[in-house]
Amino acid sequence: MSEFKDRSLKTILKTSTAAGLAAVMLVTAAPFTAVSAFAAPVEVNAPQVPSFGDVVSAVLPAVVSVRVQSNIQPASNDESGYSFNFGGRSFEDLPDDHPLKRFFREFGGPGMDGQQERGPRAERGPHSEGRLRPTAQGSGFFISEDGYIVTNNHVIDDGAAFTIVMNDGKEYDAKLVGKDSRTDLAVLKVDAKDVKFTYVKFADDEKVRVGDWVVAVGNPFGLGGTVTAGIISARGRNIGSGPYDDYLQIDAAVNRGNSGGPGFNLNGEVVGINTAIFSPSGGNVGIAFAIPASVAKDVIEKLKDTGTVSRGWLGVQIQPVTKDIADSLGLAEDSGALVVAPQAGSPGEKAGIKQGDVVTAVNGDPVKDPRDLARRIAAFAPNSTVDVSLWRDGKATEVKVTLGELPAEQSASVDTENGAAPAPEAEQELSSLGLSVRPADGGKGLAIVDVNPDSDAADKGLKAGEMITSVNNQEVSSAADVQKVLDQAKKDGRTRALFQVESESGSRFVALPINQG
């Protein structure tokens, strides 16, 4: 039995050994392939977006942080310490129907850059009177190797001392050369012997397009040397900050402290100067506004040369020409600026410009709208003589105007006081217009007593208490006078008539349909 067991074991061992050798021989005869323990990384073969690195490395030394010290305690319109003021106007100054004011009312909180880019408020102690306090910080950039710097007026306004902080941390004292509240621009100067500063130039504004890349560099929240990128999302924005609004809208991240900082194109040229943001919280939501290079260049040169900006002055109150107004005046296009009233003694009045005229061109260059006219006139030096093209009484005419100088804080428009009260006379009906009127005190004009809510007059904003002073530039004092003018307009083939309306807020023109029932 034992012998059988030994023989069986030997047989099993021989068989197992033979099988093992065969297996080894089979494996070694086959080619060996190594298998990785990890998957291969993802590789994407696609066109790459150009890096902004080359632009940033070139322009970064030219961009600075601006620190402002003042003897004046920072104003605050809310508990956060931020001010609603911007560019010389406050939140409260905006008209009730202004889109920015509606936005603030709906969402609450500051919606623009503050009057200054304010950091923590400096508390005054019993012995602090007369001491300089840090009150603002913003951004700026060199425009010459000898130390001229551009920033915003609202960054440095009320400042007593200015410090420029370079990207490498070096600090220089700067002095104020000049500032202009109307365009929110200011120029500082650093005097440093044997130092040539890296500087940048302005882009050709004619080549700046919506959709172009823009790189914003600045000092948001005190974080100097911050770079963000986006595109120019719109041009010609009017945000209600002044008569020369013509902002670029950009979607690069711009925050408090970016004010005065540049926006560059991919050639390292300044296309705009960041000046305001549109936001319910005061932080970036992708809507920022920049002063275009074309506006900044001219103003900055004047500030460098004289420290101030002298602008031409025409002296007329104007309003846009709508399609309805154009139809009522027989104009082929709804462009130009309608003269509501020339200011007494102004260059415009002296040259013969009248109420109801439409300014269509200056020196042969077409005028698109009132802001375009304001910018064109402001570009001329005081005492310049310009040719002003007008549309008057259904035909073109031209006058020569010797411009005056825009007073220091002259408003863009001339308010017209209306002290007339409705006379206690019988009401008269203009049923075709949906108006009830009566002669105004003094016999000039018609006081509006009632407006049919379903009428075109109501749609155009006419209200009881306002006064009609003229129709198609002819004075009226009774409903019969109005009807006479309307009948003549019908004969002339007009479908609308131009009504001049005065209210507490001033005078305006409104085009109403003649044949309304």
The catalytic residues are 154, 184, 259
Q: In the numeric block, which tokens belong to residue 246?
A: 């013509």
Q: In the numeric block, which tokens belong to residue 157?
A: 């306004």
Whole-angstrom distance, CA of residue 368 vs CA of residue 339: 14
Q: Which residue has the tokens 């001010």?
A: 83
**What number of CA atoms fall less than 13 Å from residue 393's CA on the CB side?**
5
Long-range contacts of residues 446-454, Cβ cutoff 8 Å, at least 24 apart: 446/476, 446/477, 446/478, 446/479, 446/482, 447/420, 447/421, 447/422, 447/423, 448/501, 449/422
Nearest to 390 by CA among 379, 401, 380, 404: 401
Q: Which residue has the tokens 């590789």?
A: 43
Query: What are the Cα distances from residue 293, in Å, to 50, 89, 369?
Result: 24, 22, 21
Whole-angstrom distance, CA of residue 491 vs CA of residue 485: 10
- Give the 3-state secondary structure of 431-492: CCCCEEEEEECCCCCEEEEEECCCCHHHHCCCCCCCEEEEECCEECCCHHHHHHHHHHHHHC
DSSP states of 121-155: PPPP-TT-TT--EEEEEEEEEESSTT-EEEE-HHH
* Residues in the chain, overall count: 517
Q: Is the Cβ–Cβ distance between 112 and 278 less than 8 Å?
A: yes
- Give the 3-state secondary structure of 71-83: CCCCCCCCCCCCC
Q: In the numeric block, which tokens belong to residue 130?
A: 């007369």
The residue type at 270: V
Indicate left, alpha or beta for 307 from its phi (over 0: left) and psi (-120 to 50: alpha). left
Q: Is the Cβ–Cβ distance between 163 and 176 less than 8 Å?
A: no
Whole-angstrom distance, CA of residue 89 vs CA of residue 184: 11
- Structural element, H or E, at residue 135: strand 133-142
Q: In the numeric block, which tokens belong to residue 404?
A: 């005056």
Question: 149 forms bridges with which residues in the sheet?
Answer: 142, 188
Distance of CA 228 to the CA centre of its chain: 19
Phi, psi of 422 (to 5 degrees): -60, 130
- Structural element, H or E, at residue 376: helix 370-378
For the chain, report the end-to-end CA distance as a whole number of angstroms.
Answer: 131
